[in-house]
Homo-oligomer: A and B are copies of this chain.
Amino acid sequence: MSKIKCLSNSERAELLKTIPDWEYDEEQKGIVTTYQFNDFTTAFGFMTSVAILSEKADHHPEWFNVYNKVEILLTTHDAGGLSIRDIELARAIDAL
């Protein structure tokens, strides 16, 4: 597999427009969002779906959950920042 590349600033700006619920976090060099659900069971059900599609994509989130809230950070450590894989996973998550 060829090494995955970081997006350029202009690529990033264009692609971020396609995922309006996510924003770029300069410090963490990734995109972040927060989902809120009615309760823990619904939140964890969502996490389970994300887990399965992350594993299929072989690209995993860094995420935090407390009760009905799920915070997600997507970044590509192999690329040292944001890559197209993060954008693709964000789209797949949004589509759930």
Q: Chain A residues in contact with chain B, CB under 8 A?
A: 40-41, 44, 47-48, 51, 54-55, 60-67
**Shortest Cβ distance from residue A86 to the other chain B in the assembled complex, whole angstroms:** 14
Distance from A92 Cβ to chain B, minimum over Cβ atoms (Å)? 16
User: Smallest CB–CB gap between A65 and chain B, Å?
Assistant: 6
* A64 vs B62: C-alpha distance when bound (angstroms): 7
Q: How far is the CA of A55 from the CA of B41 in the complex (A)?
A: 7
Across the interface, do B60 and A51 meet the contact criterion of CB distance under 8 Å?
A: no
Across-interface contacts of A60 in B (CB, < 8 A) = 40, 66-67
Q: Which residues of B contact A47 (CB under 8 A)?
A: 47
Nearest CB in chain B to that of A67: its residue: B60
The smallest beta-carbon distance between A18 and chain B, in angstroms, is 25
Q: A40-B55, A51-B40 are in contact. Are A65 and B63 (CB under 8 A)?
A: yes
